[in-house]
Structures are given as C-alpha cells and as structure tokens.
Structure 1
C-alpha cells in the first residue's frame, strides 16, 4: 500500500506489481472533520480489522493527535494491545468479549472492557488479583442480538454490584441494527428508546450509541461520544454514493490488454 498524499500519474509504487492500493490519510482527517461538523461531539475511532483494511498503524498514528478523537475502539484484545505497542495513549475499548484468562493483559495494557452480563462480571471477579480497577463500558443489547444485557433490571443489578468494587464504569453503549436503512426508521427509534429507558437518568463519562449511520442519518442529543467506523474511511454506511465523504482507499492498476469480442447470441 502507498500511504503518500500525492501520486504521480502512471507511477508504480509497489515492486513488480501493476496493481496497488493508495491510502489517502489526509482524506481520513477530512472525513473526521466532516462528521464532527455534523454532530459536534468527540469520537471513538474504530480501528478493528486492520482499520478496515487500511493499515491500523498508519491510521492510528495519524488520528492519535486529532483533537476530535477521544478514544479508540477495536474488536479483539490483540488489536488493543497492538495499538498500545505503537504508542497509543488514549483509552481503548474492546467492543467484543475477551477470554477471561487474559485479564492480566487487560490490566497491564490499561484496556477498557465491554461488560455485557452478570455472569461475565462474576467471572472477572473470580480471577481478579490486582490493585488497579477494571475499566468497563456496559453493553446493552437493544435488538442487534449480539452480546449485551436486555432489561433495566439487569442494568440496575450490574450497576449495583459495580459500586465500590473492582470495576470502574466509564460508559454505557449499544449498537443499532438498522440505522443505515431508511425503511427501518421505526426499528431504529425503538432501539434508541429502549436504550435510554434502560439507562434511565444515570450519567456516565461516555454514553455512546451513534455509529456512522446514526450520525449521518439520525439525531441524538443525549449521547456524548460518536463511534466513527466505515464513514471515517469514506464509505456511506448504506452503500450509496456520498459526496460528503472522501474515499480513503483507491485501487489502481495498469491495463495489460484490450480485446474486441464478437457478440454471441444465446
């Protein structure tokens, strides 16, 4: 991949290949600014899956000094540790579940976990033997049907057990299943209503439910952190052409041969 900001016409930036990907990190910064102007709140930059194939080291390094990026989000503990190893100092949230036996690594690298059930919470307590608290964001399942609690009773129970314990509850969040579908506005509204009904009047350092689609197509005043993933890389969440965003990755190749082929009637 070429991470330079300019590309000369016809220049082959890889060795012995005529096909290559060009990553425009300046476009990445432009997309962050565009999204910020929409919602006017800090962001969690999603760097999972090698930054959606754009190169996590280069993407994280260019975003770590961006004033709109408050923290990073990843899918696995390995991704979180990789970010720490390249010098990322901001909070890093693992959006998925981690193996309980890796709790020591979580503490050592100062990683924030998703707390998604009372059973998971109790398993962490059993293995905990550190002085530092375990930073967590409580995950609420409002219809995506991945990990997460599904009722206010569960939420209040977990909050109660987290008080004066090993846990430091920094945030609460959910993920929308249909925010990118204009025909599913009722389903989106049902999910966001459920989210706020469950957390009630509790306040947290971070309340986040706005993914890229929710930021682009919907409005939410109460959440105080946006999660920018696919839109940050210049792709419209609904798969439509989007003039607001700049596509960060482009593929280039050289044509090897052009042929004229007779039409065949079948």
Structure 2
C-alpha cells in the first residue's frame, strides 16, 4: 500500500489516531499550563507513521516535535509539517546549513562539534540550538560546567546561531528506585544554573518522568512512549494517574485452511507434529515483516478465540492451530482487540523478552499502516477510505 492507497496483501497494521489524541490530551491535563509538550516522533513515530502522528499530536496540544536525525526532520518538512522540530541525535557539523534551510533545531553536544559547525556555516538564516547535557545517560552531551560555558560563548559570538534550549535525558525515570534519577536531576539543575542566561526551553522529562516527577518538568517535557498508549515500564504501570490507550494493532487474514491428520508436520525443521486431527490456517506475515521467529507458540486471535502459532515462523508466512474450521478470509488479530479478547503490545514484548518500545518499531514498512478516526479507517487526504474494509 502506498500512503493510504490500495494494497494487495492480507496483512496490515491499524493506528487509532483518536487514541494518540486522547493520550496527548491526558498528559497535557496532567501538566501545569505553562509546561509545553514536545511530541517525540522519531523512528517513523515508533513505527506508527511520522506525519500522521505529528499532525495528531500537534492538534491535541503538543507545540514542538522531536526526532532522532535530520533526515527524519526533513521528511516531516517535505510532508508539510511546519511546527518546530528538534533533532535529538548528533548531526554532521557540515550539514548545519541544511538545518537552516529547513528551519530545524539542532542539538549541540560538545564544543568540538560547534567549532566545526561554525566553520561550515554559510547561510544567512539563523539556526536554533539546544544544548544536550549528559547527566548520566552516557550517550552524547556536555559533561562539565566549563564546556557548557565555552559552548555558550561560542554561540553568542555568532549572530546566526541562537541558543533556544537545554536538556538532558533520564536513564532510570521508569524504575521504582529513584536514587539515580535524583542524582541526574540535581546535576542538571546545577548545570542549568551555571548558564549565564536561561534559554527559552529547558526540558528533562521523558514520558516516565512527566507522569511521575513534577519537580523535573521545568517548562517542557518530551512525550514518546506514553503518547502511543504504552507504559514506560511495567513496574511503574500502577503509578500512571490516567488511562492511556494503545494506538497500534496488527492484523492478517487466513489465506489457506487445511485439516491435518495425526502425525502431519508443519513448517521448517518439521518441529510441529499434529497429535490428532486438527485445523491449521496460514496467514501472510513472517519475520521479514518483523513478526520474528521467536514468536513461535505465541497466541493470536481468530473468531474471538486464542490460537497458537505452530511450527517455525517463515519469512513471509506462519501457521496457526485453529480452534475449529474457520473459512479463508477470516481476520486474524496478532496485536489488539477481537471480541472480548485482547493481545497487548506488552504481551508480545514479553514473549520476545524485550520492551514494548521495540515491538511497533520492528514491524516492517512493507506492512501497510491504516489510520482510524471515529472507529473508521480513513484516508487522511480523502476522508473515508472506500476501497478497504477491515
């Protein structure tokens, strides 16, 4: 499927934009009025769709967007997004003029980067900068007051550069033990206080800190995982003071149904053998779609009942043991709700022995994304999508 057009396979993901909107609204109500929301839409909005999520988050009250790389920011600009966009990761210093061209805010994370970037600056347009302070995450960022002062001075010497913000990132804000979080927060407060002047935006909170720690709000928070309706961690789940709604679901359809007799085998390695007569269905999704081989044995939903994946998951297909004969064309839900049954992203993450962040991110781009509003699949350009019925 190309951008909400027709597609020719029976596997797709659905993203409920009403859930995104409600999650952003819930966070906004939770925050003091003066605290801005920076919606994190990096990695194709955690696999949900960059421009669709960006537009929805902005409409719900976010005032800024954040991405990982400048390519992602430029892609949003080319799709018509004109809101402020911050690049959280490292940008090549020689690309600073592209940031000016597209009005993209860059992260300064060391004085050497800034010195090199200034050498390449040829544009007459200004570039907004946020200083990243490494308070203990250990990725990128300024680690001393001395370097912070040097960066502040270097920015001040160039009229085309504007210090717009400063931020840090917490490593353990989603953990019950708050000691390391407190250590990071205190160091960040010290670094901010050391700046000769406070920039327009000061932000430190990710979703977990925005939910749990008002003392870390400053005047902006970065909302990522909670915007998508997923918990920052299972251990802090009970601390979320408002409902968050999962926006992502994954579906397929039965393309083949067969009856096996006792002793028949299924898939590579013949690892599954039927113990009696049973119905087996094939669905067109596999590890090339991000439905990884480790999900063998995971249950899916068919006709409102849980059915296990049997045999090894193939590149493009996998097989499920049906509770009874079910006709070809029946919808199979791999993530999401069907009748009174629900398979959460957290359930899939647990089976994969990973975190929920990873699950929608690894569902490949060849899986079409469909968008829902008001419970209906919509074409964001042409209202209802008439050539598809879920």
Q: Judge same fold: TM > 0.5, yes or no.
A: yes
- Counterpart in 2 of 1:246? 245
8 Å contact from structure 2 (residues 204, 217) kept in 1:
no
Name the CA distance, whole Å, in 2 between partners of 1:213 and 1:191.
Answer: 14
Which structure: greater strand fraction? 2
Summarize deviations over 1:133-187 as a string: whole Å, max 9, x none. Answer: 221000000000011001122112211222141320000000000001112x010
Q: Counterparts of 1:14 and 1:38 in 2: how far apart (Å)?
A: 40
Higher relative contact order (CA 8 A, sep 6+): 1
Which deviates more from structure 2 when the two are superposed, residues 68-77 or residues 213-222?
Answer: 213-222
Alignment map for 1:155-174 (pairs within 5 Å): 155-165=148-158, 166-174=160-168
Q: Which residue of 2 aligns with 1:218?
A: 213
Find the partner of 1:82 among 66, 75, 84: 75
**CA distance in 2: counterparts of 1:134 and 1:14, whole angstroms:** 41
Q: 1:30 aligns with which of 22, 45, 48?
A: 22
TM-score, normalisation: structure 1: 0.86
Aligned to 1:44: 38
Provide the secondary structure at the position in 2 that maps to 1:96: coil
1:1-266 paired onto structure 2 within 5 Å: 15-17=8-10, 19-40=11-32, 41-66=35-60, 68-165=61-158, 166-183=160-177, 185-200=178-193, 202-220=197-215, 223-239=218-234, 244-254=243-253, 256=281, 257-258=321-322
- Unmatched 5+ residue regions in structure 1? 5-12, 261-266
Q: CA deviation at 1:62?
A: 2.2
3-state SS of 2:130 partner:
strand
Name whichever of 137-146 and 250-259 sits farther off. Answer: 250-259
Is the contact made by 2:19 and 2:246 (CA closer than 8 Å) also made in structure 1?
yes
8 Å contact 1:152–1:199 — kept in the other structure? no
Distance verdict in 2 for CA 1:71–1:16, change over 3 Å = same
CA distance in 1, matches of 2:165, 2:140: 16
Structure 1 residue runs of 4+, over 4 Å off? 240-243
Moved more, 50-59 or 242-251: 242-251
- Residue 120 of structure 1: SS of its match in structure 2? helix
Q: CA deviation at 1:101?
A: 2.5
* Cα offset, 1:58, TM superposition: 1.3
The number of residues matched between the two structures is 248
The structural deviation recorded for 1:221 is 5.9
The RMSD of aligned alpha carbons is: 2.2
Does the aligned pair in 2 maintain the 1:139–1:174 contact within 8 Å?
Answer: yes
| Larger-Rg structure | 2
Partners of 2:48 and 2:86 in 1: CA distance: 20
1:253 positional shift? 4.0
Deviation of 1:30 (Å): 0.2
Report Cα offsets for 1:92-148 as digits up to 9, x if no partner: 110001122222211110111001111001001111112122210000000000110
Distance 1:16 1:112 in 2: 39
The 3-state SS of whatever aligns with 1:89 is: coil
Partner of 1:69: helix, strand, or coil?
A: coil
Deviations, residues 202-240 of structure 1 (Å, cap 9, x unaligned): 422100001101011222266101101011000010146
Q: Flag the 1:51–1:77 CA change in 2: closer, same or farther, 3 A.
A: same
